[in-house]
Amino acid sequence: MAQYTLLTDDETAVALKISKSKLYKVCQKFDANLDDEWELNEGEHFEWITRGKIRHFYEQGAVAIAKYLEVTEGNGILNRLIEFFTHRQQRIRRALVLRKIAQETRSGSTAVVSDTLFFHRRSAISILGTNGKGINGAMDRIKKGGGGYEGAEILIANKDIAYIESDEYFSNTGILKLSKDMKKSNKNKSRQSWLEAVGDTIIDGVDYQYKLLMSQEQAITQAILNAKRLARNRCQVTGEVCGEGSQFDLHGHHIFCKSSRSDLATKIDNILVVKEEIHNSYHRWHTLRYQSQPCTPESFIEYLQDVHSYLIDKPKSQKRYLALIERLEQLQRDCG
């Protein structure tokens, strides 16, 4: 992936250790004589950003210019350029790993055990860029001999690996151990480079996401408390008040679910205060009706019509019911 990433003209000049004006003068020399051995082809060596003015370069284009400068000026620039590309590709891979960690954290396939963030097996597979066979092989090697890398350790329960409802979850240290084993046992240079990037970034990357997740969870908890206060501890579907001696608890339901609309997770307009029984009932209904699709205001309206249509039979509950439908429809229009 990295080899096809374009460099700006500024980046190319820095990599070649020349000024940008000299870079374009060299390009003009390439363009001036179409019969010599020096070629810069659009789509292969560079792309026009502003035709006739600004170019961005593929690595092949930068290498072609470096070879020209080495031949015409004898400055030994090619080795420096290769070193620049190596470091650049490492930075790109690390950035991609950090992005993958963030995506898997937001996917909801995580669990917190003893103040440690664990990723579901499928998320660990995604971060490692492997498959079920690959992660199984690494786990087997680690179990049998402590892994194939220097200083290897076994996977420690509830530190590196956790079992939740029979599913495997891996922490950052667990993924680190897997990445080291896979890198040692894999002959493919591209795979080795990716796994090296995982090893370099997984600890700090997951720690950052954990802190972000915890701060957001605290903000969500506070938003739900605020929503309950504004609702005067009353279920916004049935109108029942949760007070001393009540036989039910109130929940804060995210109308647009957190996994699909994290931007609305702390917005009070997106939090509906409902009885625990109704909250659980809705999610069971939604799973049967919509399976893995995200919750929306529209689906909650359907739920109300299917399960709680009796509310329109009495004037007070009818008024509350119609106001709630209007609120849900407005949220769908504004944010859907």
Higher pLDDT: 140 or 316? It is: 140
- Provide the pLDDT for residue 128: 96
CB 155 within 8 A of CB 161: yes
| pLDDT for the residue 70 | 87
**Between 88 and 1, whose confidence is greater?**
88
pLDDT band at 76 (very low <50, low <70, confident <90, very high): confident
Q: Distance between CA 35 and CA 133 in Å, rounded?
A: 53
Instruction: Assess whether pLDDT exceeds 70 at residue 151.
Output: no
Helices (H), 129-275: 132-145, 172-185, 189-230
Distances (CA, A) of 103 to 98, 244, 266: 9, 42, 19
Q: Yes or no: say if 133 and 185 are a contact pair by the CB < 8 Å rule.
A: no
pLDDT number for residue 148: 59
Least confident of 146-160, 183-197, 285-299: 146-160
Taking only the tens place, the pLDDT of each residue in 303-315 is: 999 999 888 888 8
Phi then psi for residue 118, to 5 deg, are -115, 145
What's residue 108's pLDDT? Answer: 77
Per-residue pLDDT, averaged over 276-282, amounts to 96
How does the average pLDDT of the chain come out, rounded? Answer: 90
Q: Confidence class of residue 290 from pLDDT cuts 50, 70 and 90?
A: very high
Residue 142 CA to residue 154 CA, distance in Å, equals 6
- At residue 1, does pLDDT exceed 50? no
**Which residues are registered as beta bridge partners of 250?**
275
Q: Which residues contact 223 (CB under 8 A, 6 or more apart)?
A: 252, 265, 266, 267, 268, 271
The pTM (predicted TM-score) of the whole model is 0.64
Cα radius of gyration (the chain): 29
Check: CB of residue 255 under 8 Å from CB of residue 297. Answer: yes
DSSP output for 185-206 = H---HHHHHHHHHHHHHHHHHH
What's the whole-number mean pLDDT along residues 96-108? 91
